[in-house]
Each structure stands twice: as C-alpha cells, then as structure tokens.
C-alpha cells in the first residue's frame, strides 16, 4: 500500500463502544463475495468523527449522510478544515467514525478493526494523494506492481508485470515502463500513482487533492485520466478545494464545518479528450 496511506491510523482515537457493534470478519468476508450490483459504492449514515486532543474536542465530521452509486464521479469541496480529509480517511477505511455508519459496497465497515479494514481497503479502494509517493529508484512499472507484490496473491512475476503494463497504458504511459520517477514530469508521476491505484481493479478510486502539487496544464492531464476511468465505469471520489478541478466531476458535494452544505450536479462539466504519453509539461 502507499506509504502515506496508513498515517491516519495512528491518530484514531479508540472508542470503547466499538467492541459491541464490531462486525465479525467472517460476516464481512461472506458479504463481500455476494454480488452487489445495485448497492451504492458508498453509503454513510450520520457519520461523525470527533478528534480528542486532551480536554479539547474537535468535531471534524458532524452528521454526514451521503450515497454514491456505482459509476459516479464526485468532487468533495470545501475550505481548509471543513472535514474533507477526515471524510476521505473514513470512506477509505483508514480511520473509523466516532458515531454513525459506513457501508462500503454494501458491507458495514464502520466497526471493523485495523486489520479487517486493511484487507477491505486493499481489495476495494485505490488511493491517489497529493504527493505521488513513488519509490525514487524504482521504475514506473515496478512502482505500479508494488501493491500486487505486497498482496502476494500468488501471481507470477510475468503476470504482475503484464497487469502493471496494462494499467500504465490505461493512464497513457505505454512506453514509459522503465522510466524512473525523476525521468518523468509531475503529471506523468501522478499518472503512475493512478496506475498503481488501479492495479487491484478497485471498486472505488479515492483521490485527495491529486492536483495539489501540479500546475494547471498538468492538472488537466491528470483530470483527463480520472474522467476517462470514470467514462469506463470506475467510481471516483475526488477531494479538491479548487472549483475548476471540481468541474471535471459529475457531482459536487460541498463540506463546511464537518457537514454537507451543498450537493449538486456539476454545472459546466469540463471535458478533455484522450491523453497521450507525450502530454508532458
Ligand atoms: P480538510 O481536509 O477539509 O482541510 P480535515 O478533515 O483535515 O479538513 O480537518 C477537519 C478538522 O479536524 C480541522 O479542524 C482539523 O484541525 C481537525 N483535525 C484533522 N485531523 C486531526 C487530528 N488528527 N487531530 C485533531 N484534529 C484534527
Ligand atoms: Mg485535507
């Protein structure tokens, strides 16, 4: 998994009520093999997350109920401190709510412990972060293969490489397999990170400020990739504080003070054509 992906685990405040409503791992496993064709990918009910810092409580999420259907492309917006990352950490199974429930692909994951969340996360969610988190001395292809190596799913090296090659082609980077991150532009590096997030064919792509380190032209290149993945049926939830980035999505949800204050279709959806490996900047 991505190095930064586990960071929020360490800040999770333990909740004594967890024990009673914990879903058994076996139950979650059985639920997961059940076909979930019409299930929302995300369904949250009155989600709350309170950070306790000594005597001080920060109510980072305060009653968030949201449904995201398969194939949606949702941008989560809101000013700094509005709860976007806290929400992403919970829907990404990196953290769990203080109260409320979260169903991922029909499975109640709100009570799962750390190991159970890790397993669900590895199977169902592809993460993309603002920092690309690529290994510097490792080729694009090997960076993309990494989640497969960690998962040790019994695939041969040849199969892994073939899958990674296909994911790189999907983000327009065919021919760049052997490049090191330093030999790629920022936009291309982020596309390698997107390919890495795709390698397990996740139900849900989650991106937290994926264009935060990129200039506007390069941001377009990256957003074109998300649009193309979504056009191919992938469910994408993307966090941004930039209006013009949000306009690439189909639906825009605005957070303020830990609550959803706006939920609307993207008015002037920005669309870009195919992206090629040569689109550097
Ligand atoms: P955003 O991503 O929209 O900028 P965050 O979800 O990071 O917002 O933060 C929401 C609120 O929760 C803020 O007030 C922030 O200071 C607080 N917060 C976030 N993470 C922590 C943490 N680990 N411990 C304490 N407070 C936190
Ligand atoms: Mg944030």
85 CA to middle of ligand 2, Å? Answer: 4
Pair of tokens at residue 265: 């279709």
- Is the CB of residue 81 below 6 angstroms from any atom belonging to ligand 1? yes
Q: Considering the entire predicted model, what is its pTM?
A: 0.83
For the beta carbon of residue 69, count every other beta carbon within 10 angstroms. 14
Q: Which atom belonging to ligand 1 lies closest to the Cα atom of 49?
A: 12
Instruction: Look at residue 42 and tell me if it is in a domain.
Output: yes
Say if 279 falls within a structural domain.
no
CA distances (Å), 229 to each of 46, 74, 112, 186, in order?
30, 13, 29, 19
Nearest CA to ligand 1 atom 26: 51
Asked if the structure places residue 270 within a domain, the reply is: no
pLDDT at 140: 98
Please tell me the predicted confidence (pLDDT) of residue 152.
Answer: 61
- The answer to whether 190 touches 210, Cβ cutoff 8 Å, is yes
Report CA torsion sign: 37, 246, 44, 111: positive
Whether the CB of 60 sits within 6 Å of ligand 1: yes
Residue 195 pLDDT: 98
Range of the domain at 29: 3-265
* Residue 163 counted as domain residue: yes
Angle at 28 between CA 23 and CA 229, to 5 degrees: 125
Cβ(200)–Cβ(175) below 8 Å: no
Whole-Å CA distances, 270 to 224, 245, 246, 251, 279: 9, 9, 9, 12, 18
Would you say residue 275 lies in a domain?
no
Domain assignment present for 59 = yes
Does any domain span residue 43? Answer: yes
How many angstroms does the Cα of residue 30 sit away from the middle of ligand 2? Answer: 34
Q: Residue 132 sits in a domain of what CATH number?
A: 3.40.50.300
Select from 43, 56, 59 the least CA-distant residue to 107: 43
**pLDDT tens track, the chain, 281 positions:** 444 444 443 333 334 444 433 444 445 444 445 554 579 999 999 999 999 999 999 999 999 999 999 999 999 999 999 999 999 999 999 999 999 999 999 999 988 999 999 999 988 999 999 999 999 999 999 999 998 887 766 788 899 999 999 999 999 999 999 999 999 999 999 999 999 999 999 999 999 999 999 999 999 999 999 999 999 999 999 999 999 999 999 999 999 999 999 999 997 777 765 444 444 44
Separation of alpha carbons 232 and 135, rounded Å = 28
The residue contributing the CA closest to ligand 1 atom 14 is 81
Angle CA 230–77–237, to nearest 5: 25
Q: How far is CA 194 from CA 132, 190, 202, 207, 244, in A?
A: 9, 6, 11, 9, 20
The domain total for the chain is 1
CA of 139 to the centre of ligand 1 (A): 34
271: in domain? no
């Amino acid at each position: 998994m991505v190095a930064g992906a586990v960071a929020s685990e360490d800040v999770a405040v333990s909740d004594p009520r967890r024990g009673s409503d914990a879903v058994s791992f076996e139950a979650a496993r059985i639920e997961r093999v059940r076909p979930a064709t019409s299930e929302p990918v995300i369904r949250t009910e009155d989600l709350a997350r309170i950070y306790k810092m000594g005597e001080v409580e920060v109510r980072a999420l305060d009653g968030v109920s949201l449904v995201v259907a398969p194939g949606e492309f949702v941008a989560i917006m809101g000013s700094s401190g509005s709860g976007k990352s806290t929400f992403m950490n919970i829907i990404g199974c990196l953290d769990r709510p203080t109260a409320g429930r979260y169903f991922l692909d029909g499975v109640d994951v709100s009570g799962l412990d750390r190991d159970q969340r890790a397993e669900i996360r590895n199977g169902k969610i592809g993460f993309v972060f603002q920092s690309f988190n690529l290994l510097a001395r490792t080729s694009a292809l090997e960076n993309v293969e990494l989640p497969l190596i960690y998962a040790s799913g019994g695939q041969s090296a040849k199969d892994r490489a073939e899958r990674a090659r296909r994911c790189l082609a999907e983000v327009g980077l065919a021919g760049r397999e052997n490049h090191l991150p330093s030999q790629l532009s920022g936009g291309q590096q982020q596309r390698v990170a997107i390919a890495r997030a795709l390698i397990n064919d996740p139900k849900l792509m989650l991106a937290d400020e994926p264009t935060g380190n990129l200039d506007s032209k390069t941001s377009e290149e990256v957003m074109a990739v998300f649009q193309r993945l979504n056009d191919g049926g992938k469910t994408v939830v993307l966090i941004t504080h930039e209006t013009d980035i949000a306009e690439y999505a189909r639906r825009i949800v605005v957070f303020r003070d830990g609550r959803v204050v706006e939920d609307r279709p993207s008015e002037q959806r920005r669309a870009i054509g195919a992206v090629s490996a040569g689109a550097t900047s």
